[in-house]
Chains A and B, each alone.
Chain A
Amino acid sequence: MAGNAKQLKGNTRWALGLNATLVYVFFYAPIALLILFSFSDDPLVGRWGGFTLDWYRAFGENEEVQSALGVSIRVAIMSTVVSVVLGTMAALALERYRFRGNKFFDALLYLPVIIPDVTMAVMMLLFFTIARNAASTIFGVDVSKGVWSVTVSHIAFSISFVSIVVRARIAGMSEKLEEAAQDLYASRWQAFRYVTLPLILPGIIGGGLLALTLSLDDVVITQFVAGPGSTTLPVYVFGLIRRGVSPLINAVSVVMLAASVLLVLLSLVAQRARGGDVT
């Protein structure tokens, strides 16, 4: 309580203030620099050469960047939609029903969260290679890696995160509410639609945004399973750095940063505006 808070004395107060300032500088100085130098009219990163919007123009005109951005968005949306549906279903099953092997599936579902990215990436690569061989021997079709393999990989790791977030929400919701709905003549589907869904929606939105962010961010796994034409924006940026850095990277990064911030804001708005009207 505020009334119990101790009055901080001179030195302590000063030291804590400095600490807080340093933490914030540490967090935000790189971001400030990134934004600043994305407007620098000098081809060398980190040298100020006057204000320009050229890099943003280049971002808009560069076909490679545009195609990478397109791939990123497509993959992110598809993997988010699928992982939200599957993750929510998994969360409902694990939280609401008792069945044989419940604990085992529980542990299994969370494995992707703790598996290192590189391991996951190698696993996925191996899986797609074998799947491709199998497909060509059995069906005689060639399924080389591409946008679909990137999407499948993203779904694979996103499901875990979605279901963790959604489950926390379901666990906080009394089963009695669903029973009450059914007692009040709602079918199972109606009980889900009008009672369960509105109440776990913040969890679903939260999980979905997490999946979206993870998908837009991922470099390691995507790089392993991407085929020709399926380079995502982060992978492209990563490649750009190796070929020599230009302030274009700054501009791309700022756009990605802005997109992330926008997503978070959207999620806050969505959660505040949630309504459960039966219509």
Chain B
Amino acid sequence: MGDEMQDQAGGPMTAAVDIQSVTKRFGDVVAVDNVDLEIADGEFFAMLGPSGCGKTTTLRMIAGLEFPTEGSLKIFGEEVGTLPPNLRPVNTVFQNYALFPHMNVLDNVSFGLRMQGKDKRESAHAAQEMLELVQLGGMAKRKPDQLSGGQQQRVALARALVNKPKVLLLDEPLGALDLKLRQDMQNELKSLQRELGVSFVFVTHDQEEALTMSDRIAVMHDGKLLQVGTAEELYDQPVNRFVADFIGQTNLIDATVFDADMIVLANGTKIRAPNPYPAGDKVAMSLRPESISIGHVDEVPDEFRSTSLTGTVSDVIYLGHSHVYTVNVDWMPLEVRTNATPTSIKHEPGSEVAIWWDRRSDWVVPDEGHGA
């Protein structure tokens, strides 16, 4: 078309949330450890990690429910470090929703507007409109405990969004819903976010949820921010063992760097694996189960000879669309996932096989960030 994407303001965009060297300590415990993070305006941003990794604490600091011990936290350029939550242009959808049990749905949703001093009728009107948007127009007079989990979730969403926050924070918003409802809500949240154009920052321990919904994801572990990137970046180019292991499923194979193009596995096999690390460094190679091919020992195509191994099938599971093999290569079991078509050959347990992969699909990570 010829027209170019340009920032309309012309200058550098102000980040919706700008976290610089933020540390949060609770007594001796470091919950968030020197985190730097920028969240763009209009972005669907996920903070992902196992429980206790500091993701919720980070979210609470943005909300103002906790204050950073050190560092700077800005919302649209304004330093908010120790500003109380009621003076921040952000709203939160709490885990388990935290709806006010003594108020009906309409009063819950209009609460924020009322507290900002808006007129009672005007607030009720805006609240009703927001309830229509989340398809709960007819539930205004109900009490929260008369609603299903999914409906409560929508009320919580409406209660936050009615205030037109500049950033919406969501703390494990779908954690309490069952699987089917969760998938529906994922889509709804995503389209709601697109419609409103507001930044959504949401915290989850569910990597699939993060991958499906977010523009960018921050992976946290032990209070540290390990990596920020798109789903593809995290999946294909994890920065360390932890991220490789946490995002999706992978085979992590211990190795030593031979040179910039080769690594040596535990059994002495040299494998083609481009990497930026100095020779002799301990590394791990991440190999996704679905990027490995499997076949008879003499079937390895020539171009994949330097990225192949041999082993014995110890187990195979048929999943309809795919076969999942466990292949023992000498010193460790590897998972291999192949498409199951009527013509594909199934390798029975006990058979000797070769496995190979494209050298662009293995990925070398430094040997750090062990364990989940």
A222 → B minimal CB distance (Å): 38
Which listed residue, B98, B99, B114, touches A278 by the CB 8 Å rule? B114
**Could you list which residues of chain B lie within 8 angstroms of chain A, going by C-beta atoms?**
63-65, 84-86, 90-92, 94-96, 98-103, 107, 110-112, 114-116, 120, 159-160, 163
Which listed residue, A199, A278, A279, touches B111 by the CB 8 Å rule? A278
The reply to whether B159 and A182 form a contact with Cβ atoms under 8 Å apart is no
**Assembly CA distance A87 to B299 (angstroms):** 82
> A176-B94, A187-B86 are known contacts. Are A181 and B102 too (CB-CB below 8 A)?
no
Interface residue SS majority, chain A: helix
- 30 A-B pairs, CB-CB below 8 angstroms? A174-B96, A176-B94, A180-B98, A180-B99, A180-B100, A181-B115, A182-B86, A183-B86, A183-B91, A183-B94, A183-B160, A184-B86, A184-B111, A184-B159, A184-B163, A185-B86, A185-B116, A185-B163, A187-B84, A187-B115, A190-B115, A194-B111, A194-B115, A195-B100, A275-B102, A277-B103, A278-B107, A278-B111, A278-B114, A279-B120
The reply to whether A176 and B85 form a contact with Cβ atoms under 8 Å apart is no
- Not counting A179-B85, A186-B111, a sample of 16 additional A-B residue pairs whose C-beta atoms are within 8 angstroms of each other reads A176-B98, A179-B65, A180-B98, A181-B111, A182-B65, A183-B64, A183-B85, A184-B160, A185-B163, A187-B115, A195-B100, A198-B102, A275-B102, A277-B103, A278-B111, A279-B120
The reply to whether A177 and B98 form a contact with Cβ atoms under 8 Å apart is yes
**Could you list which residues of chain A lie within 8 angstroms of chain B, going by C-beta atoms?**
174, 176-177, 179-188, 190, 194-195, 198-199, 274-279
**Assembly CA distance A194 to B101 (angstroms):** 12
Q: How many A-B residue pairs have CB under 8 A?
A: 77
B161 → A minimal CB distance (Å): 11
- Identify the closest chain A residue to B92 (Cβ): A183
A2 → B minimal CB distance (Å): 25
Which listed residue, A180, A186, A195, touches B92 by the CB 8 Å rule? A180
By a CB distance below 8 angstroms, the chain B residues around A190 are 115
By a CB distance below 8 angstroms, the chain B residues around A182 are 64-65, 84-86
B145 → A minimal CB distance (Å): 13
The reply to whether A185 and B112 form a contact with Cβ atoms under 8 Å apart is yes
The reply to whether B63 and A184 form a contact with Cβ atoms under 8 Å apart is no
Q: Across the A-B interface, give the 6 residue pairs with the lowest CB-CB distance, nearest first.
A: A276-B102, A184-B112, A176-B98, A185-B115, A180-B98, A182-B85
